[in-house]
Structure 1
């Protein structure tokens, strides 16, 4: 009979750690880590991100003077075009009903470029913000805060306008600014290029700098650990006294794409609820640029469903043959 040797795995729970002795070592390590930031090679990337954000804000504002934008009165749904769609996805007033037709009103810049704010810190590794200190720190756009921590100066002459909040937020954008189709397409192409440059630059910065987002709400914090302000508004978790549950953030957390229904040439003039499974779903900026005449890369064709069917009638015809 072969000899078998049995190993017993034991866990030792008696080891005690004196946190008072470890605290100076932890603080010293954090202070030494802070000297490595900002990373010099990432400063030009942060500057390009601010420039792209500035160009995107101005370009989208220009397009919205020529292309109508509608937003639902009771939910975040938006629609770009001459009139709102008839797709029944509205939860209604205070979510008392489901699958209702949206009630459309005029929208603005903040409905497409959704503002995401974060606490402004002088250094990324300063002490954690407590709940009582939540009013002692300014709130600025999260992308601007990330660029600030990456070494860019948002108050520079060429970058200053990009550090402000998105404006206008609630004003009507149904202006009568006359732009030729060529000029409109040129602005649309610049808008799409700025959108791509902004997202690409933020993605590069997130590979180097830590950014946190709450698991249950849209709160963002730029730094190695989230703040302690109890502001989480998800009532399901109110037993935790509003504390955020932090996790690693991605590009969509800092730059929400705001997905919208997209009308294709083969679709009806007004999108109806019965055929919504055939429509494309794209970021609002992409839909705005295509309606203005921009040419987008082929990688978005699957999302836009360019060659897709337009109605269930086509399926019946294919089945008969």
Structure 2
């Protein structure tokens, strides 16, 4: 029987040009080899050439948070507290976390650390994903006031930034520096992701920095949530670590209140870009297509009475 099976494999290989492998493998023998390979790979990190990039990302993140915290004290923002289906929004005062979405990841002591188990999820510290990436890249994030002005607090406010009266010229300068910090941050994270492994879950957007993923079941509590809480990992991108909070924007040709029927005509922009634009900064041309600056307003006869489902709106 075994001889007949081998002959069948050889015939199929000769006609299709493909090779067939047996699916039987001893994982108990392969597991130590895989772990040893991860340990050998960890010896090559951190990459010395990427340490200045990681340090620049940490500084750019601190400048971005400081700049946004200053701008929102002069340009009021509103965020929807809760929105039920077919109902209008309940608006409240927006905070820093409504502009810069916080994304956290488990802090690893080394790249060769074993996969985090579910019962260890409360024993391991969690850091902002960008800082965890920089930490594994060799940056000393604790020297950059990790728990003070360079990280968002629980309520989204930054107490280290003191509101002062700024002129329009000074406010525009802050907006320009904030916009430059955003571009430096995203460019630096893109470079680091080319060197350091990072994963994101397809279902819950959980981010993990490092070669081995974790097994902490952060969802899957209810019966209708499948996979028993396990994650479906894929390679992370810049938008997974630095999510662009996209908002609707009101152009001069738009009506005073943006309505639901005109969503195909209105422009959108990342919240930081819109904030810096209203503060007087010059926006890069790559955002013009998304913002539809020269786009036409929606026809008046197609307007409805319901308002757009804003995630955040600038007043």
TM-score normalised over the length of structure 2: 0.83
Query: Could you say if the C-alpha distance between residues 233 and 25 of structure 1 is closer, same or farther in structure 2, counting changes exceeding 3 Å?
Result: closer
Which residue in 1 is equivalent to 2:152?
166
Query: Could you say if the C-alpha distance between residues 16 and 192 of structure 1 is closer, same or farther in structure 2, counting changes exceeding 3 Å?
Result: same
Task: Give the root-mean-square deviation of aligned CA atoms.
Answer: 2.8
Supply the distance in 2 between the matched residues of 1:198 and 1:125 (Cα, whole angstroms).
27
- Structure 1, unaligned stretches of length 5 or more? 75-89, 316-321
Which residue in 2 is equivalent to 1:286?
273
Query: Could you say if the C-alpha distance between residues 269 and 15 of structure 1 is closer, same or farther in structure 2, counting changes exceeding 3 Å?
Result: closer
Question: Helix, strand or coil: the match of 2:127?
Answer: strand
Candidates 237, 248, 253, aligned match of 1:266 = 253
Query: Could you say if the C-alpha distance between residues 14 and 274 of structure 1 is closer, same or farther in structure 2, counting changes exceeding 3 Å?
Result: closer
1:153–1:159 Cα contact (<8 Å) kept: no
Say yes or no: does 1:195 pair with 2:182: yes
Which residue in 2 is equivalent to 1:56?
64
Query: Could you say if the C-alpha distance between residues 15 and 72 of structure 1 is closer, same or farther in structure 2, counting changes exceeding 3 Å?
Result: closer
Query: Could you say if the C-alpha distance between residues 54 and 314 of structure 1 is closer, same or farther in structure 2, counting changes exceeding 3 Å?
Result: same
2:149–2:158 Cα contact (<8 Å) kept: no
Question: Helix, strand or coil: the match of 1:271?
Answer: coil
Say yes or no: does 1:181 pair with 2:168: yes
1:164 positional shift:
5.0
1:259–1:283 Cα contact (<8 Å) kept: yes
Question: Helix, strand or coil: the match of 2:225?
Answer: helix
2:246–2:268 Cα contact (<8 Å) kept: yes
Question: Helix, strand or coil: the match of 2:115?
Answer: coil
Say yes or no: does 1:27 pair with 2:35: yes
Supply the distance in 2 between the matched residues of 1:275 and 1:27 (Cα, whole angstroms).
55
Query: Could you say if the C-alpha distance between residues 278 and 116 of structure 1 is closer, same or farther in structure 2, counting changes exceeding 3 Å?
Result: same
Supply the distance in 1 between the matched residues of 2:179 and 2:297 (Cα, whole angstroms).
26
2:64–2:178 Cα contact (<8 Å) kept: yes
Which residue in 1 is equivalent to 2:76?
68
Question: Helix, strand or coil: the match of 1:71?
Answer: strand
| Structure 1 residues 92-116: Cα deviation after superposition (integer angstroms, max 9, x where no partner) | 1xxxx23x32111111001111110
1:49–1:201 Cα contact (<8 Å) kept: yes
- Structure 2, unaligned stretches of length 5 or more? 1-10, 303-315
Candidates 244, 248, 251, aligned match of 2:231 = 244
| Structure 1 residues 116-173: Cα deviation after superposition (integer angstroms, max 9, x where no partner) | 01100011221000111111100110100000001101112x4646785313725699
TM-score normalised over the length of structure 1: 0.81
**Pairing of 1:72-87 with structure 2 (within 5 A):** 72-74=80-82
